Structure 1
Amino acid sequence: MTIFIENVFRGHSIFILWSCFLIQTAIPCQVIIVTGCPKTEEKWQIASQTKNCSLKGCTEIELYHCVPTETGQLVEVCTSPIHLQGVCPFYDTVGKRLQMSSVSCKSNNTLQNCSTRYLSTHVYKYKVCFPYTGDVSSATSRIHCKREIPIYYATLIIFCIIVSKTLRGTGTLN
């Protein structure tokens, strides 16, 4: 196995480094404005499969969310889930993450009240958290989304340098 790895990496340290860079830049980061969010678990699962957050390749777990932004726009986004207590979530377009809002998810209808503690991916159960009532329908607008790249790139670059130096130290890399 070691010989195979050495042959693969032989003379390609710049290529390896460049590949690491391209892998991260190819990962799309999209926040899509929608006119409505899924209202049932089944529709949430379908939207989640369509968004396909599992292919984003991030180091943190990112799951499908359909939530309002701080300005009330509804968006679909792949982001890390959070635990909430008695309030609705919103997507912070500046901080690029979910936050707890000041909007209570307790309503006059006790059937729609949120649990004492719930995961943000279950927000579809609480109608009070959505300012609009439409179904999911992607608009053409996208909110600019920039991944926090220093950590990703630093990790990949350090890994590539270590592999390169290790192979150079053994005399297997030109």
Structure 2
Amino acid sequence: MDACLRCLIAIYLAVKCCKSEITYCKESVDSVTDVTSCPKFKEEWEIAAREKNCSKIATEQNCVVAEKFKYHCVINGHRNALLEVCAPERLILGHCTEFNVIGGVIQDHRTAPCYNRSFPKCDRFYYSTEAYKYPDCYNLVKRTSTPRKTPTDSNYIWLLIAAVVAITVVVTIILIYVGHLVYLKMKGLDTNVQKRAKYTYNSKQRGSGEVAFIRTSASSVTNDQRQSSASIGSADSHPDKGASDLQNMTSFF
């Protein structure tokens, strides 16, 4: 009997507390982000809460006292997304916890009772900030669309693209420069080869002229020698004729 009475009192207080806090909270709606998974352990939950930094928003909102404005990771009302949101903490009664974006509140997911069931499982009542204890509720989500990208993901992608473009430009410039150097070097080699070929050709031409001149000179000398030899030979072969000519000249005088 005492146990039932305590349970009824707890339920009454929970209902009273929940009714007083079911109000639209713009700051909560503005803080919503889609995620691919939610923490399933207390340590993971605390890390995610620090990253979300709901305490910064808590001091600026008027939905609830700052101490109750906390980090949540729960399903949405359509069971097609997991949401991280900063919202007022609530006591949940035997259902999975959802964040209703249109209503701007954390509340029981009425179509997902989980107390005393095989699936999903949860306690009779628990605080919405303890949703990580009941991962069956996360498994209710059936994704129909790709989660929207956070600004961090978008910035990372743009930084990656910029880095790739910069590297491509630098590599292209280096390749052009190296290609230009190779071209100049090859052009210089071709010029040297042409000069050497021309020099060799001219040398051959000069050499041929000198050889021809030498041959002509030698031929002339040979002919002169032949003519001289012929004259001497002719005088030796007619000695009487020479004496006769000498006598004729003496008689004349």
TM-score (norm 1): 0.56
Q: Cα gap change, 1:70/1:141 in structure 2, threshold over 3 Å: closer, same or farther?
A: farther
Task: Identify the residue that residue 70 of structure 2 maps to in structure 1.
Answer: 63
Residues 72 and 87, structure 2, Cα contact 8 Å, conserved in 1: yes
Q: Distance in 1 between matches of 2:95 and 2:141?
A: 17
Residues paired across the two proteins, number: 111
Question: Which secondary structure does the structure 2 equivalent of 1:108 belong to?
Answer: coil
Q: Distance in 2 between matches of 1:51 and 1:87?
A: 25
Q: Distance in 2 between matches of 1:140 and 1:93?
A: 18
- Aligned residue runs from structure 1 range 12-23, under 5 A: none
Q: Distance in 2 between matches of 1:90 and 1:28?
A: 13
Task: Identify the residue that residue 137 of structure 2 maps to in structure 1.
Answer: 129
Task: Identify the residue that residue 46 of structure 1 maps to in structure 2.
Answer: 47
Q: Distance in 1 between matches of 2:133 and 2:126?
A: 10
Deviation at 1:140, TM superposition (A): 1.2
Deviation at 1:114, TM superposition (A): 2.1
Question: Which secondary structure does the structure 1 equivalent of 2:136 belong to?
Answer: helix
User: Highest CA radius of gyration, 1 or 2?
Assistant: 2
Residues 62 and 79, structure 1, Cα contact 8 Å, conserved in 2: yes
Q: Distance in 2 between matches of 1:68 and 1:87?
A: 12
Q: Which of 64, 74, 95 is equivalent to 2:82? A: 74
Q: Cα gap change, 1:93/1:141 in structure 2, threshold over 3 Å: closer, same or farther?
A: farther
Question: Which secondary structure does the structure 2 equivalent of 1:140 belong to?
Answer: coil
- Aligned residue runs from structure 1 range 22-171, under 5 A: 29-56=30-57, 57=59, 58-59=61-62, 60=64, 61-72=68-79, 73-102=81-110, 103-106=112-115, 107-108=117-118, 113-130=121-138, 131-132=140-141, 139-140=148-149
Residues 36 and 132, structure 1, Cα contact 8 Å, conserved in 2: no
Extract unaligned runs of 5+ from structure 2: 1-27, 152-253
Q: Distance in 1 between matches of 2:51 and 2:29?
A: 14
Between the aligned residues of both structures, percent identity stands at 32
Q: CA RMSD in A?
A: 2.8
Q: Distance in 1 between matches of 2:114 and 2:131?
A: 9
Deviation at 1:28, TM superposition (A): 9.6
Deviation at 1:93, TM superposition (A): 0.8
Q: Distance in 2 between matches of 1:28 and 1:100?
A: 17
TM-score (norm 2): 0.40
Larger proportion of strand: 1
